[in-house]
């Protein structure tokens, strides 16, 4: 979760947004984190580079919890 927060905050900083203090499993990537499809693509490649997991390979991912589950291979 910490590493994911780091990646998301890095992207937020690049876009001029304030960093988040914490992530919650229930947070929606589009509604709560305000990520559009191109930003989600960028998040995907950064996560893949860090964890070797392609989060969108098997379909749409909606929440932070779903990303964590993919990273942890659940």
Partner 1 sequence: MKWIIVTGDSRGVGREIVQQILSETDFGVIGISRSSIEAADELLAKYPDRFRALSYDLTDVDGIKQLYMDKIRKIGPIHGLVNNSAMAYDDIVSNLNVQQLQQMFQVNVFSAMHLSKYAIRDMLLHKTQGSIVHISSISAHTGYKGLSMYAASKGAIEAFSKNTAREWGSKGIRSNCVVPGFMETSMSSTLTDDQKARIYQRTSLKKETDVSSVASTVLFLLSDQAKSITGTVVHVDNGTI
The Cα–Cα gap between 8 and 2 comes to 10
From 12, 20, 42, 51, residue interacting with partner 1 (rule: CB under 8 A): 42
Specify the stretch interacting with partner 1 by CB under 8 A; choose among 2-10, 23-31, 40-48, 65-73.
Answer: 40-48
Residue nearer to partner 1 on the CB measure, 26 or 52: 52
User: Is residue 65 a contact partner of residue 25, using CB atoms and an 8 Å limit?
Assistant: yes
32 touches partner 1 (CB under 8 A): no
CA distances from 69 to 37, 61, 62, 72, 74 (A): 20, 10, 12, 5, 5
- Residues in contact with partner 1 by the rule CB under 8 A: 38, 41-42, 44-46, 48-49, 52
């Amino acid at each position: 979760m910490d590493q994911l927060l780091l990646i998301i905050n890095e992207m937020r900083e690049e876009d001029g947004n304030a960093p988040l203090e914490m992530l919650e499993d229930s947070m929606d990537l589009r509604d709560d984190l305000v990520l559009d499809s191109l930003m989600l693509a960028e998040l995907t490649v950064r996560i893949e580079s860090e964890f070797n997991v392609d989060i969108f390979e098997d379909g749409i991912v909606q929440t932070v919890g779903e990303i964590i589950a993919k990273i942890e291979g659940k």
